[in-house]
Chain A
Amino acid sequence: MNISILRRIGVLFLIAGIFFSWSCSKAGDSNVIKIGVIGPMQYSQGKGHWNGAELAMEEINSSGGIKVGNEMKKIELIKADSNEIASITDAANAMERLITQEKVNFVIGGFRTEAVLAMQDIAMDAKTIFISVGPASAELNKRVKEDYDRYEYFFRGSPLNSSYLVKNSFIHLGYIAAVLKKTLNLPAIKVAVVAEKVQWVEPVIAAAKSTIPAMGMELAGIWQPSQTASDVTAELSAIQRSGAHIIFTVFSSSVGVTFVRQAGELKIPALMTGINVEAARFDFWETTEGKCEYVITSANYLENITINETSKKFIDAYRKKYGEMPSYTAFTHSAISNLLRTAIEKAGTLDADALIPILENLKVETSSGTYKVDENHDSIWGPGYSIIMAGQWQDGSFKGIWPNNWKASDNAPAISYEGVAPVKFPPWMIEAYQ
């Protein structure tokens, strides 16, 4: 009896060992371009990463592949679940596996900055090109600036870095304040700032303190709930007490949903604008039971706005295949079919060192505007490049409301994207101020 147990245990270990070594050693195939897609695959962000990349792969492979020198190479995608929301260790291991076991040529994806910082180091050690699609922190590109020789393999894909996001959302704020002032005949606009407590928000708070008075508005107060707060009614009644007309939000996690939901339930007479990552999702109407009506947030993809042909084609193809609007992490599609494809075809090689100068000088249309990087490999914001639109939830659909006759400076040409809608105000707000 004891011998059999010993044997069984032995066999068990043997099987585990074989399984492990099998999963460790997979032969590389040089006839394809291997692209690792890394992200939290059980979450919507990871699904966006994967769907975008999958769409790009299907489009490219059905047209024969990417031309590398004289041969056409097809794309093979390797999915890596980084589990980064729960564990940084797992994320780093997933990156290592992509690079050393799967021997991918490129990696795209990433979401949580703490994890991407760890993944970045691994990709740089292996001198593999890593295009981030997900984290907004500027920290990632600061490293390129500080140690170019090591971090030159890193590029920011999407979204724009957080300082641009903030700058852009202050422009949204200015636009909305102007419309609000005109529509409701208000003498002065009061703005309440509500930001979740995370590190990238710190500069936003600092900027809000100086920018909002400089824009001719009054700062009614600053509130910082935690990222996972499940009750913000206390904050909301304090905000209402402060008499704010506009609530400038900076949310990237679940508190964004809770805040909108409870504000809608309490009919707080103020308009929300700013950054609320969850609110830019196509299913936010259902998530908030319709309480998100009139909420404004920064957005990358909008149904009613056409940025350019690439974007229109991408959104149409994505909606046809997956039946929903793409999330911002679906920029993996552009990272493959616009950035990497153009660069590889130009270079005629998959060699990272040959591709870097090309990527650095690349100026290409992508699904979120014209993409170009600065000397830190950070994507450039501004008129003529990528800008961030603002969308408002109106009657169940997320409509683009900005840029609408936007002038970057006094003599710059006014920019309006095709299909932009006017801003609407909640009736209880009109009632409260008339």
Chain B
Amino acid sequence: MVVDIIISTLINGSIYSILAIGFSLVFGVARIINIAHTAFYMLAAFCIYAGTNSFGLHPVLAMGAAIIFVTILGLASYKLIIEKIRVHPAATIIATIALAMIFQEIMILNFGAEFLSVPVLVEGFTVVFGVKITYQQVFTFIFMVILLISVWFLLMKTKLGLAIRATAQDRETANLMGMNESMIALVTIGISVGFAGFAGAIVIPLTVIHPHMWLSPLIIMMAVVVLGGLGSIKGSIIGAFIMGLTEAIIVFLLPMGSFLKGSVALTILIIVLIIKPEGLFGVSIEGE
């Protein structure tokens, strides 16, 4: 039982944290709440489907193509739409909602509102401490660790990372110090959307693709990010594992109530916020 819970937490937590890091990074650096974040995750899934089914690409190639395509689309929508209104947070939220709806509708027009699927990269499963795990889940976890290490490397060891961190801390000063703030925002958007596409690409072989699939991870992702504190990467990762743990505990200890996992996770979020309004590790954005 304990092993089950730990493994389930690790796998779900890693998926949530990939999504949450991207979302949080964009907020931290560019102060953009990107509701369409998980819509990019959905788009990546559809790209892989189209790539493998219509163009007959190898799944790995399709994955790569999907991540690149989604990243370009993300950058384009930032340049064409979001950049013009990003000074108004509310307008940004609404514009990204509209953007997500547009993506969803275009997918419905193209693929219909059916359930679709793509093949897994490696078939089969392995047994760890008596618990069955699919290779795809093992991959997800490994990829996530690699991704985390590379994010850490990027942020801590490169000049770009320094610029990103500086902008996240104080945009105006960073700008005054000669950092190209809008360029950094653009790069961050690219990284973030790329993460969303990546998450879509590795998660999707285990589940179903449909045009509304962006809504439920969106809610959990936002809960994770708010819980960990907006803009904090450490917070996002810890928040993701807290949510994963909560869900796993509910599924294993309360089998009749496993539908409640979303509600309980959100209730924990609200309780934390009442005690600590800026989340666990959030930066205070008051006075901006």
B248 touches A234 (CB 8 A): yes
Q: Does A308 contact B (CB under 8 A)?
A: no
Could you tell me which B residues sit within 8 Å of A by CB distance? 1, 4, 8, 11-12, 15, 108, 112-120, 123-125, 131-134, 136-137, 203, 206-208, 210, 213, 216-217, 247-248, 251-252, 255-259, 261-262
For the A-B complex, the count of residue pairs with Cβ-Cβ distances under 8 Å equals 116
Report yes or no: B252 in contact with A238, Cβ–Cβ below 8 A: yes
**Which chain A positions have C-beta within 8 A of B115?**
254, 257, 278, 287
Residue of A nearest to B134 (CB): A265
B273 shortest CB reach to chain A, Å: 23
Q: Tell whether A231 pairs with B206 under 8 Å between CB atoms, given A197-B259, A238-B4, A265-B134.
A: yes
Task: Name the interface residues of A236-284: CB closer than 8 Å to any CB of B.
Answer: 236-238, 240-241, 254, 257-258, 261-262, 265-268, 278, 283
For the complex of A and B, list the 8 residue pairs with the smallest distance between their C-beta atoms, beginning with the closest. A197-B259, A226-B259, A234-B251, A234-B8, A230-B207, A257-B208, A223-B255, A266-B132
B258 in contact with A223 (CB, 8 Å): yes
Q: Is A65 an interface residue (CB 8 A)?
A: no
A265's partner among B114, B136, B252, B259 (CB-CB below 8 A) is B136
Q: For residue B213, which residues in chain A have a CB less than 8 angstroms away from its CB?
A: 230
Residues of B within 8 A of A229 (CB): 258-259
* Smallest CB separation, A221 vs chain B (Å): 6
Chain A residue with the shortest CB-CB distance to B255: A223
Task: Check if A31 is an interface residue, CB within 8 A of chain B.
Answer: no
- Could you show 20 A-B contacts with beta carbons less than 8 Å apart? A43-B113, A196-B259, A221-B255, A222-B255, A223-B256, A225-B258, A226-B258, A229-B258, A230-B217, A231-B12, A233-B11, A237-B132, A238-B4, A238-B255, A241-B4, A257-B117, A265-B124, A278-B115, A287-B114, A288-B117
CB within 8 A of A287: which of B108, B116, B120? B116
Verify B261–A265 contact, CB threshold 8 A. no
CA distance A235 to B131 in the complex (A): 12
Smallest CB–CB gap between A281 and chain B, Å?
9
Rounded to whole angstroms, the CA-CA distance of A366 and B113 in the bound complex is: 29
Q: Which positions 29-82 of chain A face chain B at CB distance < 8 Å?
A: 40, 42-44
A285-305 vs B, CB cutoff 8 Å, 1 = contact: the mask equals 011110000000000000000
Known: A222-B256, A233-B206, A262-B207. 16 other contacts (CB 8 A): A42-B108, A42-B113, A44-B113, A223-B255, A224-B255, A224-B259, A226-B262, A227-B259, A229-B258, A229-B259, A230-B208, A233-B11, A235-B258, A261-B207, A262-B134, A262-B206
Partner of B210 from the list A40, A221, A237, A254 (CB cut-off 8 Å) is A254
Chain B residues lying within 8 Å of A233, measured Cβ to Cβ, are 8, 11, 133-134, 137, 206
> Chain A 9-26 against B: per-residue CB contact (8 Å), 1 yes, 0 no?
000000000000000000
